Amino acid sequence: GAVVSQHPSRVICKSGTSVKIECRSLDFQATTMFWYRQFPKQSLMLMATSNEGSKATYEQGVEKDKFLINHASLTLSTLTVTSAHPEDSSFYICSAEPIGQANQPQHFGDGTRLSIL
Amino acid sequence: AQKITQTQPGMFVQEKEAVTLDCTYDTSDPSYGLFWYKQPSSGEMIFLIYQGSYDQQNATEGRYSLNFQKARKSANLVISASQLGDSAMYFCAMREADYKLSFGAGTTVTVRA
């Protein structure tokens, strides 16, 4: 089945550090990938839609300069949390939708637990 | 307005029994898709079942079935013969024309031996 690899799975770093998270579709191509944020015991909140070869589309209230998204190829999107602070600590998870399969589910990565000290 | 509503924050079910998780949705799109995902404590999102808005029959996948009542805008998940491994958070989600997924608040299911 379709697999999405997300790396790293866990990050602990100091305040002020920038952290890059990769989301890679291993056996399919995706023009669109999605980035979500999830606080403990809460739902997934869509942060942005990553579009291959063009700028990401951010949801209302998400700072585009804080959360940089790059979708340089049909199999890779990256989310960089710039100058991270403790309030950025959360679970970040990506998903990808295979090209031409509109009625198929999005495939999720295993998520990244980010802890900012 | 909330697009997906899950009114049950938590549920307990006895092993081998069935459990129904409620989900109602709100959309004006004629074409949409409804999904259920399972999220164990490790965090990964596991796709369970899909129902398209034009599907005439209720979706089934093994022990999972979706009770789709279009007029009532509900898409309840039924898990039959519960197993201890079913203990997890369950999310109902909807995809509309813009392909974005909207998630409900989730229901935590705890299966008791």
pLDDT (tens digit per residue) in B32-82? 999 999 999 999 999 999 999 999 999 999 999 999 999 999 999 999 999
The amino acid occupying position B74 is: S
Inter-residue contact B38 to B89 (CB < 8 Å): yes
Which pLDDT does position B2 carry in this prediction?
79
B105:A34 CB<8 A: no
Tell whether the model's pLDDT for residue B23 goes beyond 70: yes
Mean pLDDT over all residues of chain B? 95
Of A42, A46, A110, the CB nearest to B43: A110
Question: Is the separation of the CB atoms in A109 and A4 below 8 Å?
Answer: yes
Asked if A46 and B101 come within 8 Å (Cβ–Cβ), the reply is: yes
Which residues of chain A neighbour B42 with C-beta distances below 8 Å? 110
From first to last of the 117 residues of chain A, give the pLDDT tens digit: 668 999 999 999 999 999 999 999 998 888 899 999 999 989 999 999 998 888 999 999 999 999 999 998 999 999 999 999 999 999 999 999 887 766 678 899 999 999 999
The answer to whether B33 touches B95, Cβ cutoff 8 Å, is yes
Chain A residues within 8 A of B103 when measuring between CB atoms: 43-45
Q: How many CB pairs under 8 A join A and B?
A: 49
pLDDT of residue A102: 62
Query: Residue A6: is it exposed, middle or buried by C-beta count within 10 angstroms (0-12/13-18/19+)?
Result: buried
CA-based nearest distance A14→chain B, Å: 23
Higher pLDDT, A12 or B1: A12
pLDDT bucket at B98, cuts 50 / 70 / 90: confident
Q: Give the containing element (helix H, strand E) for A25.
A: strand A19-25
Determine whether the interchain pair B100/A106 forms a contact, defined as Cβ–Cβ distance below 8 Å: no
> Which pLDDT does position B97 carry in this prediction?
83
B66/A117 Cα distance (integer angstroms): 43
Count of CB atoms situated within 10 Å of the CB of B67: 16
Q: Which residue has the higher pLDDT, A2 or B16?
A: B16
DSSP for B16-43 reads TS-EEE--EE----SS-EEEEEEE-TT-
One-letter amino acid for residue A53 of the chain: G
* Gyration radius from chain A CA atoms: 13
- Looking at the DSSP bridge assignments, the partners of residue A2 are none
Pairwise CA distance, residues A56 & B20, whole Å: 38
Which pLDDT does position A1 carry in this prediction? Answer: 63
**Which one of A32, A43, A91 has the shortest CB-CB distance to B105?**
A43
